[in-house]
């Protein structure tokens, strides 16, 4: 599936946008882990309108305001928003400050709380394997450990965890989180934390995937996300939402 490139002005930033497909509306935040559309996005674009927007710069709350401006500039009415890893805080602040812009949230291997970042240091020596259990399937390269840690400090305020969680507890639309069973950075145990954080949430454990689930298991990822886009809240309460994708 070929994505068409353009640029838009949002707030004080000029953001790159890539679009393909038609159908259910999905905004994907492009960030350090997934800067370009891959196989998962191409599969999703076969049945959905997929719009990949470059993640705005700066602290997450400010970046979320830029993202809201981008969604408005594109004339999008309440898209589902997908964010991965350290882009998740931007999507979460969007849900807090601009809930009218979000139909649902999808979080892949989210890292959004300072208390969840201790693994970044402990796995620095085996960094590439933290991102991909199957490096042969990945077309790009993971961000450098030092750059990733710097981005984490920019995106996640050390003292905000309690108030951040309280604000997120008021977000009622469906939330789906996906965790790879071989991810040491955002281990599957965090899935229960995110499920309990929101009033209407569930999580999927994706078998044999590390931090970059889209890179390791693109078909399984696209299948789960596509099903969620079609079914919404019915997906969240369904039996499939607890399965491992094998």
What would the pLDDT profile of 178-203 be if each residue is shown by its tens digit?
Answer: 999 999 999 899 998 999 999 999 88
Closest CA to 33 of 118, 97, 105, 107: 107
pTM of the model: 0.91
70 exposed, middle or buried (CB, 10 Å; 0-12, 13-18, 19+)? buried
User: Using an 8 Å Cβ cutoff, are 201 and 174 in contact?
Assistant: yes
Nearest 10 degrees: CA dihedral of 163, 187, 99, 62? Answer: 70
* Rounded CA separation 66/9 (Å): 9
Gap between the Cα atoms of 130 and 119, Å rounded: 10
pLDDT digits over 99-139, tens only? 999 999 999 999 988 887 766 656 656 777 888 887 666 65
The predicted pLDDT at position 127 comes to 76
Q: Which of 79, 30, 69, 74 is nearest to 52 (CA)?
A: 30
Q: How far apart are CA 108 and CA 176, in angstroms?
A: 9
pLDDT digits (tens, 9 = 90+) for 149-174: 888 888 887 767 788 889 999 999 99
- Cα–Cα distance measured from residue 84 to residue 69, given in angstroms and rounded to the nearest whole number: 20
Count of domains observed in the chain: 1
237 pLDDT tier (thresholds 50, 70, 90): very low
The reported pLDDT for the residue numbered 163 is: 87
Instruction: For residue 166, count other CB atoms closer than 10 A to its CB.
Output: 11
Residue carrying structure tokens 């594109």: 74
In what helix (H) or strand (E) does residue 32 lie, and over which residues does it extend? none
CATH number at residue 69: 3.40.50.1820
Q: How many CA atoms lie within 13 A of 225 on its CB side?
A: 35
Domain containing 173: what range? Answer: 4-245
Task: Return phi, psi of residue 42, to 5°.
Answer: -65, -40
- Which pLDDT score is estimated for 241? 46
Question: With pLDDT > 90 as the criterion, what percentage of the chain qualifies?
Answer: 59
């Amino acid at each position: 599936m070929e994505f068409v490139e353009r640029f838009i002005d949002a707030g004080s930033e000029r953001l790159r946008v890539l679009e393909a497909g038609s159908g259910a509306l999905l905004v994907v935040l492009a960030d350090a882990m997934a800067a370009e559309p891959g196989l998962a996005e191409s599969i999703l674009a076969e049945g959905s309108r997929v719009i990949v927007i470059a993640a705005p710069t700066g602290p997450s709350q400010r970046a979320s305001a830029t993202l809201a401006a981008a969604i408005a500039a594109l004339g999008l009415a309440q898209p589902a928003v997908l964010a991965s890893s350290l882009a998740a805080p931007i999507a979460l602040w969007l849900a807090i400050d601009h809930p009218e812009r979000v139909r649902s949230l999808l979080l892949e291997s989210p890292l959004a709380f300072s208390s969840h970042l201790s693994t970044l240091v402990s796995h620095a020596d085996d960094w590439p394997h933290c991102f991909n259990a199957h490096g042969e399937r990945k077309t790009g390269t993971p961000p450098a450990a030092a750059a990733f840690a710097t981005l984490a400090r920019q995106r996640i305020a050390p003292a905000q965890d309690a108030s951040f969680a309280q604000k997120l507890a008021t977000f009622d639309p469906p939330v789906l989180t996906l965790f790879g069973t071989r991810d040491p950075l955002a281990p599957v145990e965090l899935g229960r934390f995110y499920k309990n954080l929101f009033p209407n949430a569930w999580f999927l454990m994706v078998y044999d995937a590390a931090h970059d689930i889209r890179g390791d298991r693109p078909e399984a990822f696209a299948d789960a996300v596509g099903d969620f886009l079609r079914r919404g809240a019915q997906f969240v309460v369904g039996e499939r939402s607890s399965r491992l994708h094998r």
